[in-house]
Amino acid sequence: MSQTKYIFVTGGVTSSLGKGIIAASLAKLLQSQNFRVTIQKFDPYLNVDPGTLNPYEHGECYVTDDGAETDLDLGHYERFLNVKTSQANNVTTGRIYQSVIQKERKGEFLGKTVQVVPHITNEIKERILLLGNTEDYDIIITEIGGTVGDIESLPYIEAVRQLIYEQGENNAITIHLTLIPYLSAAGELKTKPTQHSVKTLMESGIKADVLVCRTEHELSDDLRKKLALFCNVKFEAVIQSIDVDTIYDVPLKMQDEGLDKVVIERLELLPKQKANLKQWNEFLTKYKNPKSKIRIGLVGKYVELQDSYKSIIESFIHAGATNEVEVEVVSIHSEFILEDENMNIFKDLDGVLVAPGFGERGIEGKIKAVEYVRVNKIPFFGICLGMQMAVIEYSRNILGLKDANSTEMTSNTSNPVIDLMETQKKIKNKGGTMRLGSWECSLTSDSLVRNIYKKTSINERHRHRYEFNEKYNSIMFSKTFKASGINPKTGLIEIVENQDHPWFVGVQFHPEYKSTVSEPHPLFVSFVAAALKYSKTK
- Give the residue from 309, 147, 304 showing the smallest Cα distance to 214: 147
Using CB under 6 A, pick the residue from 224, 366, 450, 464 that binds ligand GLN.
464
Q: Which residues contact 207 (CB under 8 A, 6 or more apart)?
A: 174, 201, 232
Binders of ligand GLN in range 116-135 (CB under 6 A)? none
**How many C-beta atoms lie closer than 10 Å to residue 347's C-beta?**
10
Distances (CA, A) of 73 to 56, 70, 378: 16, 8, 33
Q: Which residues contact 210 (CB under 8 A, 6 or more apart)?
A: 173, 174, 175, 176, 233, 237, 239, 259, 262, 263, 266
Q: Minimum distance from CB of 142 to ligand GLN (Å)?
A: 29
| Comparison of 294 and 418: residue with beta carbon closer to ligand GLN | 418
**How many C-beta atoms lie closer than 10 Å to residue 239's C-beta?**
24
What counts of helices (H) and strands (E) characterise the chain? 18, 23
Q: Does position 357 bind ligand GLN by CB under 6 A?
A: yes
- Find the Cα–Cα–Cα–Cα dihedral 165, 168, 170, 174, rounded to 10°: -20
Q: Tell me the sheet residues that pair with 168.
A: none
| Comparison of 180 and 391: residue with beta carbon closer to ligand GLN | 391
The region of 218-226, 317-325, 355-363, 448-456 touching ligand GLN under the rule CB under 6 A is 355-363
Using CB under 6 A, pick the residue from 358, 377, 444, 480 that binds ligand GLN.
358
Q: Minimum distance from CB of 414 to ligand GLN (Å)?
A: 20
Q: Residue 16 phi/psi, 5° resolution?
A: 60, 30
The region of 296-304, 307-315, 352-360, 499-507 touching ligand GLN under the rule CB under 6 A is 352-360
Candidate list 384, 393, 464, 497, residue with the active-site label = 384
| Cis peptide bond N-terminal to 118, omega within 30 | yes
| Comparison of 122 and 424: residue with beta carbon closer to ligand GLN | 424
- In total, the chain counts a number of residues equal to 538
Interatomic CA distance for residues 344 and 293, integer angstroms: 20
Q: Does position 69 bind ligand GLN by CB under 6 A?
A: no
| Comparison of 368 and 465: residue with beta carbon closer to ligand GLN | 465
DSSP for 174-237, please give it: EEEEEE--EETTTTEE--HHHHHHHHHHHHTT---SEEEEEESSPPPHHHHHHHHHHHT--GGG
Q: Minimum distance from CB of 418 to ligand GLN (Å)?
A: 7
Q: Does position 460 bind ligand GLN by CB under 6 A?
A: no
> What SS3 string covers 302-323?
CCCCHHHHHHHHHHHHHHHHHH
**How many C-beta atoms lie closer than 10 Å to residue 177's C-beta?**
28
Whether residue 364 lies in the annotated active site? no
Interatomic CA distance for residues 511 and 318, integer angstroms: 13
Binders of ligand GLN in range 369-428 (CB under 6 A)? 384-385, 408
Q: Tell me the sheet residues that pair with 507.
A: 383, 495
Q: Minimum distance from CB of 468 to ligand GLN (Å)?
A: 10
Q: Does position 320 bind ligand GLN by CB under 6 A?
A: no
How is the beta sheet containing 405-406 ordered, strand by strand?
Answer: 405-406, 416-420, 466-468
Whether residue 196 lies in the annotated active site? no
Q: Does position 211 bind ligand GLN by CB under 6 A?
A: no
Run of H or E including 123: helix 121-132
Q: Minimum distance from CB of 300 to ligand GLN (Å)?
A: 10
Q: Tell me the sheet residues that pair with 91.
A: 42
Q: Does position 465 bind ligand GLN by CB under 6 A?
A: yes
Helix 121-132 and helix 154-167, axial crossing angle in degrees, nearest 10: 50
The region of 126-134, 160-168, 251-259, 463-471 touching ligand GLN under the rule CB under 6 A is 463-471
| Comparison of 177 and 441: residue with beta carbon closer to ligand GLN | 441
Q: Does position 250 bind ligand GLN by CB under 6 A?
A: no
The region of 101-109, 120-128, 150-158, 459-467 touching ligand GLN under the rule CB under 6 A is 459-467
Using CB under 6 A, pick the residue from 224, 310, 396, 463 that binds ligand GLN.
463
Q: Minimum distance from CB of 467 to ligand GLN (Å)?
A: 7
The region of 87-95, 197-205, 365-373, 460-468 touching ligand GLN under the rule CB under 6 A is 460-468
Q: Does position 337 bind ligand GLN by CB under 6 A?
A: no
Q: Does position 494 bind ligand GLN by CB under 6 A?
A: no
Annotate 353-387 with b (16+ C-beta within 10 A) or e (fewer).
bbbbbbeeebbbbbbbbbbbbbeeebbbbbbbbbb
The region of 80-88, 117-125, 255-263, 458-466 touching ligand GLN under the rule CB under 6 A is 458-466
| Comparison of 181 and 506: residue with beta carbon closer to ligand GLN | 506
Candidate list 76, 318, 510, 521, residue with the active-site label = 510
The region of 41-49, 320-328, 344-352, 461-469 touching ligand GLN under the rule CB under 6 A is 461-469
Whether residue 512 lies in the annotated active site? yes
Binders of ligand GLN in range 167-196 (CB under 6 A)? none
As annotated, the active-site residues are 384, 510, 512
Task: Give the interface with ligand GLN as residue ranges (CB under 6 A).
Answer: 356-358, 384-385, 408, 463-466
